[in-house]
Amino acid sequence: MTVTEAATLARGARLDADVVVVGSGPAGLTVALDLAGRGIDVLVVESGGRGVSPEARDLDRGEVVGEPLRFAEAPYDTSSMRLRVLGGASGHWAGMCRPLDDLDLRARPWIPGSGWPIDRADLEPWYRRAEATLDLGTTGWDPEAWYERCGTSALLPGDRLTTTIFQFSPPTRFATDFERALEAPTGPRVVVGATAVDVALDASGRRIDELTLRRADGGTLTARATTIVLAAGGLEVPRLLLAWDGGRGVATSSGLVGLGYMDHPHRTAGQVRATLGSELPPLYAWGDAPGDGAPAKVWAGWSPTPELQEAEGLGQAVALLRFTDALTGATAEPTAVTDAMGRLVSWTIDPAVHRAVVTVRAEHWPGPGSRVTLGTDRDASGLPRLRLAWRPGPEEERTMRRTVELLAEELGRAGLGRVEVDPRGRPLAEGPLEIGCHPMGATRMGDDPSASVVDPDLRAHDVENLYVCGSAVFPTSGHANPTLTVVALAHRLADHLAGDAG
């Protein structure tokens, strides 16, 4: 089917489908393409257009309270970190991927609110599909496999830190890389420029009868389907659930919609001065990995082992060495994120010494202090603007500090160099705290309707035909970038909706 501009449709037009997907980012288009490929009639509605526009960007503007938002040493707001356009945030994504670890999905007694209702084995088949969707290599995530591929060994062997592997998608741009599938006669129908501003529930209050879609000119359309999939992104999902049904909210009986918001806190932790010869082993230098098999861009860092995390009550974290690289391809949308990524510079090389900026990121512990709520101002579509509070606490600070301490101790133990604090002499805790532009949580999944918003199949506990897909359903964040897990969950949901789960 072709991609249609909502402005070309008659005012008041009704769009019917088997499944309506709200949002056209990695989650929404993965679900839509999977289902359409099985002969299911799918309609995707996207608030943005084919390209970024000031009007669409303004719909993402909100109020920030709590910790100020910063990314790559620049101030941010809620419109900087999102992308309301066909293809969603994949349009400015850097492509960094890693699955969640088994530990991330387990209940950890020292982290309140931890524990997913599924385990890593439940996600494994869909991770394999997500890796293919995102054009990742085939070497996997085991450090030993990468040591063999690169002809090297662990830079810091020991029992306190483990090597953590990240791979990079080219990156996949969903609007362009899947353009042929979207335009095919068997593809999903896509309507852009249509904001899902409200829903009408049936008499029981347990099913969505109809979606109201608003165009930029104020005209409205309606959409009806047996199943609704809300895949509008980690910030927009809780905002819409809170605002829908005339402001009464949808799927809100637990009182948890908007609570438990997470984004990975980052800090620049100083620099490594290490006599390593002329080159850092390629695994740790964010470059093209040598060896046989599919080409791959890889970046490895160091994380406290699960045993040490449990013994010291830490969250997940990773320390990485930053350097200059072309992070985004020519097809990336020119946004604040792509501008900031170009400023990530770290390597300064002299004949004898490498200096590398150390960056550390931590898991954001779920809790009530960080949340998405509705403000009093309304945007051009008539929806209340979101109000975002992001407040990492002492647990994240302690985890980041301990991770850098371990890196310094292990580098010294191996005789490879030392970690210095920021060249300006600031302790780690006084450096600017930054976000990862990884909005997660606020619509958590779980078995208990009183303690979660959606069930393990991503269906809203309160609404029989509403599913939520994306990073908003994460109960905990781990330290891995969320996109790979988002796409895996989307493949899993599509299988469930098509009756092929299991």
Model confidence over 53-95: pLDDT tens digits? 999 999 999 999 988 999 877 888 999 889 999 999 999 898 9
Mean pLDDT on 379-392: 97
Region of residue 382 (phi > 0: left; psi between -120 and 50: alpha; otherwise: beta)? left
Three-class secondary structure of residue 197 per DSSP? strand
pLDDT at 350: 38
| pLDDT, tens digit (0-9, with 9 covering 90-100), for 216-271 | 999 999 999 999 999 999 999 999 999 999 999 999 999 999 999 999 999 888 77
Could you give the angle at the alpha carbon of 107 between the alpha carbons of 102 and 109, nearest 5°?
125
Contact indicator for 233, 213 with CB cutoff of 8 Å: no
> What's the confidence (pLDDT) of residue 502?
40
In whole angstroms, give the CA distance from residue 166 to residue 455: 29
- The mean predicted confidence, pLDDT, of the chain is 89
Residue with tokens 């809203």: 460
Q: What is the pLDDT of residues 131-170, one digit of tens each?
A: 999 999 888 999 999 988 888 888 888 899 999 999 999 9
What's the rounded mean pLDDT across residues 190-196? 98
Phi, psi values for residue 205, rounded to 5°: 75, 10
Q: What is the identity of the amino acid at 152?
A: T
361: tokens are 């990121």
Q: Which pLDDT does position 501 carry in this prediction? A: 47
Q: Lowest-pLDDT range, 119-128, 211-220, 267-276, 305-314? A: 267-276
Are 21 and 170 in contact by the 8 Å Cβ rule? The answer is: no
Tell me the average pLDDT across 190-216: 97
Closest CA to 468 of 124, 39, 28: 28
278 has pLDDT over 60: no
pLDDT band at 483 (very low <50, low <70, confident <90, very high): very high
Q: Residue 17: helix, strand or coil by DSSP? A: strand
Residue 24 has pLDDT above 80, yes or no: yes
CA 74 to chain centre: 20
End-to-end Cα distance, the chain:
30
Handedness of CA 203, 204, 205, 208 (dihedral sign): negative
Helix axes 483-497, 26-36, angle to 10 degrees: 30
Burial code of 442-452, b = ≥16 C-beta within 10 A, e = fewer? Answer: bbbbbeebeeb
Check: CB of residue 332 under 8 Å from CB of residue 173.
yes
Counting residues of the chain whose pLDDT is more than 90, the rounded percentage is 72
Dihedral sign (CA 236, 237, 238, 240): positive
Element (H, E) at 489: helix 483-497
Contact call for residues 435 and 263 (beta carbons, < 8 A) = yes
Of 109-113, 153-157, 416-420, 445-449, which range is least confident? 416-420
- What pLDDT, on the 0 to 100 scale, is given for residue 244? 98
Answer for the pair 28, 231: CB distance below 8 angstroms, yes or no.
yes
Residue 50 CA to residue 417 CA, distance in Å, equals 49
Distance CA 400, CA 299 (A): 19
User: With pLDDT > 70 as the criterion, what percentage of the chain qualifies?
Assistant: 87
Q: Per-residue pLDDT for 362 more than 70? A: yes
What pLDDT does residue 500 have?
Answer: 61
Tens-digit pLDDT profile for residues 294-337:
667 888 999 999 999 999 999 999 999 875 443 444 455 555 54
Cβ 277 vs Cβ 461: under 8 Å: no
Query: CB count, 10 Å around CB of 180?
Result: 9
Pairing status of strand 208-214 against strand 195-201: antiparallel
Q: What's the burial of 394, exposed, middle or buried (CB within 10 Å: 0-12/13-18/19+)?
A: exposed
